[in-house]
Amino acid sequence: MSVVTVDYKQEGDIFDIQRFSLNDGPGIRTIVFLKGCPLSCWWCSNPESQRRRPVVMYNEAECVHCRRCESACRQHAVTFTDDGVRHFNFDACTGNGDCAAVCPVGALVMKGQHIDVRSLIDILKKDRSTFRHSGGGVTLSGGDPLMQADFARELLKACKAQGWNTAIETEGCAEPCDVLDVIPYVDHILMDIKHMDPEKHRTFTGVSNELILSNARKIAAFSPLTIRVPVIPKFNHSEKEIGDIARFAASLGNTECMHILPYHSLGENKYRMMGCEYKMNRLSVASLSNEELEKYRPIIEQAGVRCRIGDE
């Protein structure tokens, strides 16, 4: 049996760890959210994931308007108007955390943590009996874990060395060599396919889908995968658009399931806290329910792919 060496000193950036998840692979799982994403989807519910560096979240309800953050920020990213309204320039912020360090009431929270594989495995070990009893394990999410391919690979290898099941949630918009470097250490691949039209994909996510579709074919040649589709009103919420994705998923020849997820606006408040626009408001659309997606089940199954809707 070949011995896999792990670089436990490999460092990366994460922004959250969520325990006891039932929706991101088999069994009960712990999700590690890695920072950095090449996409900026209008509906993204984790906007704090998109930049690799830490981001600052502002909770206006806690703020006592002492203006210490304005004085502390060397980038002049924080300013107050004469009548005390706080303005934040997200693009000018470097994420150094000087403002959060001086805030007396905890109204500013930094999202992002630099950590090495050894320290992260030590944190994850507290769930090892849950993994063993439920058949679960560790899922890397984001952002897109493939944006930190070296860190993701070593972390996955370290999980395998513990005997844990591994999964990855990816947008698939990464260098093909990074994709092929990581997938040998993944038991379950969950990959987003959002739209088959490259221009519409670019408008709503910031990038074309060509590399993503090409990587999906590469992954399918090595491993079974689940295709995940966020169903978004005025983007892909139609029988034609979901059917096109289903037929692509079937053509991969190795798709275990197409998992469609109803749009929700739960992330909207985070955009406010980051001083960014929630672009879905331009469309004036409401959240969707699982029931509203039922009409897609026969279309997906007719394409020859098993269908899963929401948290079923």
Q: Residue numbers of the site for ligand SF4 (CB under 6 A)?
A: 56, 63-69, 72-73, 75, 77-78, 93-99, 102-103, 105, 107-108
Which residue, 24 or 98, is less far from ligand SF4 as judged by CB?
98
CA distance 141 to 228: 13
Nearest to 12, CA basis, from 39, 33, 38: 33
Place of tokens 């005025």: 234
Write down the least CB distance from residue 266 to ligand SF4, Å.
Answer: 24
CA distance 158 to 4: 9
Which residue, 65 or 114, is less far from ligand SF4 as judged by CB?
65
Number of CB atoms found within 10 A of residue 190's CB = 21
Which residue, 110 or 180, is less far from ligand SF4 as judged by CB?
110
CA distance 194 to 242: 9
CA 11, chain centre distance (Å): 19
Write down the least CB distance from residue 275 to ligand SF4, Å.
Answer: 9
Write down the least CB distance from residue 156 to ligand SF4, Å.
Answer: 31
Which residue, 73 or 299, is less far from ligand SF4 as judged by CB?
73
Write down the least CB distance from residue 50 to ligand SF4, Å.
Answer: 15
Which residue, 94 or 287, is less far from ligand SF4 as judged by CB?
94
Write down the least CB distance from residue 279 to ligand SF4, Å.
Answer: 22
Which residue, 93 or 299, is less far from ligand SF4 as judged by CB?
93
Write down the least CB distance from residue 100 to ligand SF4, Å.
Answer: 6
DSSP assignments along 58-73, one per residue: E-TTT-----HHHHH-
**Cis bond before residue 136 (omega within 30° of 0):** no
- Provide the sign of the torsion angle of the four alpha carbons 144, 117, 219, 262, taken in this order: negative
